[in-house]
Structures are given as structure tokens and as C-alpha cells.
Amino acid sequence: MNTAVMPERENYLNASYGLKSWLLTKDHKRIALLYLITITLFFLLGGVFATLIRLELLSPNGHLMSSDTYNKMFTMHGVVMIFFFLIPSIPAAIGNFVLPMMIGARDLAFPRINLLSWYLLVIGGLLAIFAMVSGGVDTGWTFYTPYSTSYSNTWVIATALGIFVAGFSSILTGLNFIVTIHRMRAPGMTWFRMPLFVWAHYATSVIQVLGTPVLAVTLVLVLCERLFHIGLFDPALGGDPVLFQHLFWFYSHPAVYIMVLPAMGVVSELVSTFSRKAIFGYKFVAFSSVAIAVLGFLVWGHHMFVSGQSLYAGMVFSFLSYFVAIPSAIKVFNWTATLYKGSISFETPMLYAFGFIGLFTIGGLTGLFVAALGVDIHVTDTYFVVAHFHYIMVGGAIMAYMGAIHFWWPKMTGRMYPEGWAKLSALVIFLGFNLTFFPQFILGYLGMPRRYHTYPDEFQVLHVFSTAGASVLAVGYFIPLVYLLWSLRYGKVAGANPWGATGLEWQTASPPPVHNFDVTPVVDCDAYDYSRVIREVVEIG
């Protein structure tokens, strides 16, 4: 192939050099890498807080830090991981890179807005970091009133402002994706020929665009309440603190789907590629993404079963929450059906996909437990809930994110990662994850409340298991950081299509040229048509 013979071929990485060419770039691929670096730093920061939390919980009496400090730790862990890592992770980093290529476009519809959205994330992140180094914030990532508005003496304003700004980053990314998918598809790329990754991102973008402004205005009102005591959430003036919870969860429940829908899109690509079969029931999987986005807006009240909302509201929210299980299950069943009689191979991205399917299923099914009114009353605010959402966010979203990074790493960098190390770390992450979070289901069921740093002695064994698991998990995340950086220089040169995958992004060079394609591709077949792919001979390892 040309790429092997002419290593000096111009691509988006060597087209221009210097800091300015990166900080002022309008190339979606470079912006994606800026995002990748940024969110990796936030992931490390959030990981530091997680480490401190787990260390503190090793002993029942909490010797490491005071209760106040512990409150700040779990708050900042949540804020960083959710708003500055998980929300931008797959869409803004991976999606930014591959989505335009998948539909055969030269770039997103609005490259300058794309760059702006990265700067907004950075500014928001800096505000949050400023709050953290100035003394931190202790309200929990949920900012429940009236504590956040009237009582907390920590840096609520700076943190909320940071999330507000980062929210606009998310909105602009969503807006850009929607317009791009509508208006920038290559000739022949009809809606039902799009890879499912694109469908998942379309659904995600709709949530980002419709949900995030509500969080933004809610945070503005919290700020006004703190600054001017306007009383909108203050019971002393007749305001209603529960109204805050409604507004907050109106965004923050759909935000769960901002995190997991792109992950599902990734898994669709991985399962198809590594079983060399078209996705079973393409349209069902595509529409299930849309269904999750729509239903996701109608279930926020299941976070508030014990908040004092009306019983009828609780019943309706419980019922609707069960409904979300249907499109989620459709996806899992269809991935499984795709595997059936496929030529399955077990490269690292596929290991992560398997990890996702298993862990997401556990996370999803325990989601049904907590969606049931009676069970939820027993487990509300316990480690059961903590374990449940970590199975979705870490076991689901981050597993898929890791799979996506490995899958598209050759496309992004032109280099292969070392397969042996990668498989090892995937295994370590899977084991470490389960060791960390499975004991938390049991802890929660036995009655260990969340957000407490002291607990009865009999819970210690399970907490020690969990902390041990977190250490394993940390090692698992650290190994890829090392070998991925190593591979930038020493990795095997990757061809255009090392996996024999079908997406348009694999039909251009690795790394891609500045405008993605030398000639705009014309699409004349469905997604996942493996009969057409001629696999390049690339030795992996």
C-alpha cells in the first residue's frame, strides 16, 4: 500500500507544526485529540479523589481525613468524573474524531464552534479546579438545595459556574453533531446506511441539546439564590427545595444516557467488526437509541421516590423506568444475536465489548431493582445504588471508551498498540472493576449508606475487598497509559484498515489526511457489508 511505501505522506498530524497550529486548529481530528488529552487529565484527577475515598474507607473509623474533607472528596470525585470526563468522553473525543469520517464528511458542519466547545470545557474545568484548590466543595455532585444554597460554606459558586460553562461545551458538540449528520453525509450515505455509532451519537446529541440548558438555568438560579437570596428554592419564603431536584434530574437522568448511549454505539461497531457479521436487526438497534433518548426524558422522578413527591408520580416514574429497559435489552439481545455463528476474534477492543455487555447487563438489571418503588425505599442512598451506577458508568461507559480508544488508535495515530499488554490490561480492569464494585452491592443491601466515611465493624471485610479491587483497577488503567504513549513511537505501523472493518473511516489512510478523504466517497451498500472488505495483512502484536 501507499502508506507503507511513502512514510512521508501528508496527514493531519504532520500537515503543520507548532503549538499555535494545535490551539487554533479547526480540524475535527486535532480537536478530538485536544479533548482526549484534556479528559485524560480529568480522569486522572477524578481517580486521585477515588483513591483517597477508597483509602479512607479501609478502616471503619476513618483515620485519614475528617468528615468534612471526606464530603469534599466524594463531591469532587463525582463532579470531575461526570461533568469533565464521562459527558465529553466518547462523544467529544472519539466521536469528534470518527463521526465525520464515518459519514464521509471532510469535517463537522461548524469547525470553529467545535474548537470553541473545547475551550469552554477547558475554561469550565479550570473554574472547577480553581474551586478545588481553593478549598473544595462539599455538596455532592447533585448540589441539593437548601444545603447548596443556604448552608454550605464551600466553593459552590465557582464549581457550579464551571459546570455551567462546560455545559455549553456539551450543547455545542451536540448541535454540531446533529447538523453534521443531517447535512454532511456523503452521496449515497442514507440514514439507514449509517453506522450505528452515528445513530447513537445522534440520539445522544438530542439529549445534550434539550437537557443541558435546563441544568444550566437551574445552576444559574442556585447561584442567584446564593448571591442574592432570591428564595426560589428556600422553604422559608415558600419556595420548594424538591423543585430543584426535579430540575436537576430532568437533566441529570438523561445525562446518564449521554454517557451510555455513545458507549452502546461503540459496542455495536466492535461486536460487528470482530464477529465479521452485520449487526442483527440494524433498524431495531438504531431506533432503540432514539427510544432511549426519548424515554430517558420521562423517568427523572425515579431519583426522587423518597423525596416526598406524590405517590402517583412515583408510580408513573417507576412504570416508565421499566420501559427504558426494553430498548436497552433490545441492544443486548441483538449484539448477542450478532455474535451467533459469527467469526469471532478476541482482539482487545472485543474484550472490552464483552466486558461492556456483561457489566452493562448487571448494571441495567440492578437498575430495575431500584426502579421498583418498594425495593428502592430499602436501598435508597445505600452502596447498592453506588454499585449500580458504577456498573453503568465505569463497567459500561468506560469499558466502551477503552474499547473505542484501542479500536481507533491505529486510525488516530497510524500505530498499533501492543496487543499482549492490551489484553492483559483489559483483563486486569475487568477483574479489578468487579472486585471493587460487586462487594458494594452486598454492602448496600446490608444497609451501608452512601457518603458516610465511618461504618460498623462488620462492613470492613467488604470495604477491604472494594479497596483492593480499586487498586487493581488503578493498575489496569495505568498500563494502557504507558503502552499507548509507548506505541506512538515504537508501535507497529498500522495500515488503513487493520481490523478489516467496514466503516468509511477505514477506507482512508491512517492517520487520515487533513480533509479525511482524497476523493469524497460514494456509498452504495449498507453498513457492515463484510463481503466487500478486503482485509489488509497486518500482523497484530
Partner 1 sequence: MASQAHVETLAVREQFDTAHQQQDASTLGMWIFLLTEIMFFGGMFMMYTVYRAVYPHVFGLASSTLNEMIGAVNTAVLLCSSFTMVLAVRGAQLGRRRTVMLFLILTIVLGLVFLGVKGFEWNQKFQEHHVPGLAFHMEGTSQQGPAQLFFSLYFAMTGLHALHMVLGCGLMLYLLWRTYRGTYSAEYYTPIDMGGLYWHFVDVIWIFLFPLLYLIDRHLK
Q: Which stretch binds partner 1 (CB under 8 A): 148-156, 219-227, 371-379, 388-396?
A: 219-227
Burial of residue 490 (number of CB atoms within 10 Å: 0-12, 13-18, 19+): exposed
Q: Are 108 and 516 in contact (CB under 8 A)?
A: no
Q: Which stretch binds partner 1 (CB under 8 A): 129-137, 206-214, 325-333, 426-434?
A: 206-214
Cell triple for 295: 424515554
Kindly tell me which of 90 and 214 has the beta carbon lying closer to partner 1: 214
Kindly tell me which of 175 and 332 has the beta carbon lying closer to partner 1: 175
Kindly tell me which of 210 and 431 has the beta carbon lying closer to partner 1: 210
| Contact flag: residue 182 with partner 1 (CB under 8 A) | yes
By CB under 8 A, the residues from 57 to 116 that bind partner 1 are: 105-111
Kindly tell me which of 227 and 485 has the beta carbon lying closer to partner 1: 227
Using the 8-state DSSP alphabet, how is residue 300 labeled? Answer: G
How many CA atoms lie within 13 Å of 534's alpha carbon, on the beta-carbon side? 1
Which listed residue (62, 146, 231, 342) binds partner 1 by CB under 8 A?
Answer: 231
| Contact flag: residue 515 with partner 1 (CB under 8 A) | yes
- Gap between the Cα atoms of 375 and 40, Å rounded: 37
* Shortest reach from residue 393's CB to partner 1, in Å: 24
Which listed residue (6, 7, 61, 238) binds partner 1 by CB under 8 A?
Answer: 238
By CB under 8 A, the residues from 472 to 491 that bind partner 1 are: none
* Shortest reach from residue 418's CB to partner 1, in Å: 35
Q: Which stretch binds partner 1 (CB under 8 A): 29-37, 55-63, 239-247, 376-384?
A: 239-247
| Contact flag: residue 209 with partner 1 (CB under 8 A) | yes
* Shortest reach from residue 238's CB to partner 1, in Å: 4
Bridge partners (DSSP) of residue 415 are 493
| Contact flag: residue 183 with partner 1 (CB under 8 A) | yes
By CB under 8 A, the residues from 440 to 479 that bind partner 1 are: none
Kindly tell me which of 183 and 532 has the beta carbon lying closer to partner 1: 183
Burial of residue 474 (number of CB atoms within 10 Å: 0-12, 13-18, 19+): middle
Residues 6+ apart with CB under 8 A from 325: 364, 367, 368
Which listed residue (81, 86, 102, 216) binds partner 1 by CB under 8 A?
Answer: 216
First to last CA, the chain: 20
| Contact flag: residue 171 with partner 1 (CB under 8 A) | yes
| Contact flag: residue 239 with partner 1 (CB under 8 A) | yes
Q: Give the helix ranges, DSSP H, for 414-490.
A: 419-446, 460-490
Q: Are 216 and 182 in contact (CB under 8 A)?
A: no
Which listed residue (142, 240, 358, 365) binds partner 1 by CB under 8 A?
Answer: 240
Residue with cell 464551571: 162
Kindly tell me which of 57 and 175 has the beta carbon lying closer to partner 1: 175
* Shortest reach from residue 42's CB to partner 1, in Å: 24
Q: What is the 3 state secondary structure string of 220-282? A: HHHHHHHHHCCCCCCHHHCCCHHHHHHHHHHHHHHHHHHHHHHHHHHHHHHHHHHHCCCCCCH
* Shortest reach from residue 520's CB to partner 1, in Å: 8
Concatenating the DSSP letter of every residue in 330-363 gives HHHHHHHHHHTT------HHHHHHHHHHHHHHHH
By CB under 8 A, the residues from 7 to 26 that bind partner 1 are: none
Concatenating the DSSP letter of every residue in 20-87 gives HHHHT---HHHHHHHHHHHHHHHHHHHHHHHHHHHHHTTSTT--SS-HHHHHHHHHHHHHIIIIIIIH
Which listed residue (117, 148, 204, 212) binds partner 1 by CB under 8 A?
Answer: 212
- Gap between the Cα atoms of 58 and 35, Å rounded: 34
**419: nearest Cα among 500, 474, 487, 510:** 487
Q: Are 185 and 193 in contact (CB under 8 A)?
A: no
* Shortest reach from residue 484's CB to partner 1, in Å: 29
| Contact flag: residue 210 with partner 1 (CB under 8 A) | yes
Kindly tell me which of 165 and 171 has the beta carbon lying closer to partner 1: 171
Which listed residue (24, 126, 229, 456) binds partner 1 by CB under 8 A?
Answer: 229
Kindly tell me which of 378 and 515 has the beta carbon lying closer to partner 1: 515
Cell triple for 80: 470531575
User: Which residues lie near partner 1 (CB under 8 A)?
Assistant: 105-111, 171, 175-176, 178-180, 182-184, 209-214, 216-218, 220-221, 224, 228-232, 236-240, 243, 247, 515, 520
